[in-house]
Structure 1
C-alpha cells in the first residue's frame, strides 16, 4: 500500500509543478522493510520495488509494484495512479487517485484491492519544507468500509546533501470499530553516487509494539 509520494524508507512528499514536455522516469528500490502508514507489509522482512511515471503539463500517471508478505500468502502489490500537480500562491498542490491491487491475494475473505482519492499541499521555505495530504477510500482494504488518512511532515536540509524529516499520520475507519490509530516516523535521507538515494528511518504507531528502523537504497533513471 504505497502512494506516489512515499518512497520506501524515504517519506519526503514530492509535488511537481507543471511542465510542457512529456517526461518519463523510472525507479527501483531495496529496503530492509516495507512500512505503510506505520505497519509492515513484508512481515518485518526486506522488500524490492520499482515503477514508472509519465508526466506532461502537470498531469501524471504511473505504475508501481512491490514485494509484500501477508499471512494469507499474498506476495505482490501493484499500484496504478494518476493526478494533476500545480503551483499557486507560493504553494504546490496535487490531486489524484490511486488503485492498490494484490494480484495473487486469495479469493476467500474480503477483497484486498481498494481505491483512494487524495489531495495534497506543500511549501518550501529555503532549507525547510512542509507538506500535508488527505486520502479517502470509499471501501478500504479488506472491505472494511470508508476510511481516511491524514498526514503531514516537515523536512530540514542539514547540510552535505542530507535532509532530516519527521512525519505524523492518522488513520480513521468508519465501519471498523477500535481500529483508528496514529503513526509517526523520523528519518535521514540523501544521495550517493549518481541518482542513488539512501534513507534511514524509524517508525512507530500509537500504543507501541510496531517499532522499526528501515534502511533503503533507491535508483532513479530517465527524465
Structure 2
C-alpha cells in the first residue's frame, strides 16, 4: 500500500505530462546539509536533491522528491524518496490555502521501508504590504512507521530587503503525542528557529540559512546551511 501510493503518483505525472507538458517542472538542488525542521538527515553532510512536479491551472498539483540521507550508526539507509498530491486555493487577494498529503519512503537498508509514513498538511498564506506570512501545519498518524501521532506547527514571514533579495524568519514546533513510541531528546517536543536569505541570479536560486533547535546534539546544533538550485520547465 505504501509503495503503491508513490507509484500511483508517479504514474499520474507521466500520464499528465502527455497533455500538459507546459505545467511540468523539475528542480535540482545541492545543499551543504539536508536538515528537516533543524535536524540533519545526512549527519551534517551535503545532499543532492531533485523533484519532478506537475501543476494545473486549477491549483491541483502532484509530484515526487528525492534526496540522499545518512542516519549514522549501523543504519545503511541512504535514500529518501517522497510523493505528494494536493490543491492550492487562492481565496482572495491576501489569503491562500494549500492542502494535501505526502508519503515519505526510505531505501538502502533491509529495515529502511519500516520508516515509511504518511503526512497530511495545510498551509495558509497571507500577503500584505510588509511581506508574506505563512501558517503551516503537518500531521502524521504513523510517524516513521511507529504508529505514533505527530504534528508540526510553523509560522514564518518573508520580507523583501531590495528587489530580488529576501529574508525569511521562521519558527516551528514538532510534537509527539506518544513519547513511548517517539520522543525528541527524551521529551515530547522541540523548537526550531531559522533565518534565511534568498536570492536568484542567472537562472539559479540561492539560499543561506542560519538555524538552531532546542535539542542539544551534533545533528541539531546551531548551523549555517547553503543551498543552490535550478528549476527546469518542460
Shorter-chain TM range is 0.7 to 0.9
Picking from 212, 215, 222, the partner of 1:211 is 222
What TM-score do you get using the length of structure 2 for normalisation?
A: 0.81
Note if 1:187 corresponds to 2:196.
yes
More helix by share: 2
Q: Distance in 1 between matches of 2:223 and 2:61?
A: 32
4+ long deviations beyond 3 Å: none
> Counterpart of 1:44?
44
Q: Distance in 1 between matches of 2:31 and 2:98?
A: 27
Deviations 1:44-70 (A, max 9, x none): 000000011001111100000001111
5+ unaligned residues in a row in structure 2: which ranges?
A: 1-19
Greater length-normalized contact order (CA 8 Å, ≥ 6 residues apart): 1
Task: Give the number of aligned pairs.
Answer: 202
RMSD: 1.9
> Counterpart of 1:27?
27
Picking from 142, 145, 157, the partner of 1:139 is 142
Picking from 73, 95, 101, the partner of 2:99 is 95
Query: Cα 1:169–1:139, aligned 2, differ >3 Å: closer, same or farther?
Result: same
> Counterpart of 2:209?
201
Q: Distance in 1 between matches of 2:81 and 2:215?
A: 30
5+ unaligned residues in a row in structure 1: which ranges?
A: 1-19
Deviations 1:128-183 (A, max 9, x none): 11001111100101516110110110011000411011110111101125131111
What TM-score do you get using the length of structure 1 for normalisation?
A: 0.85
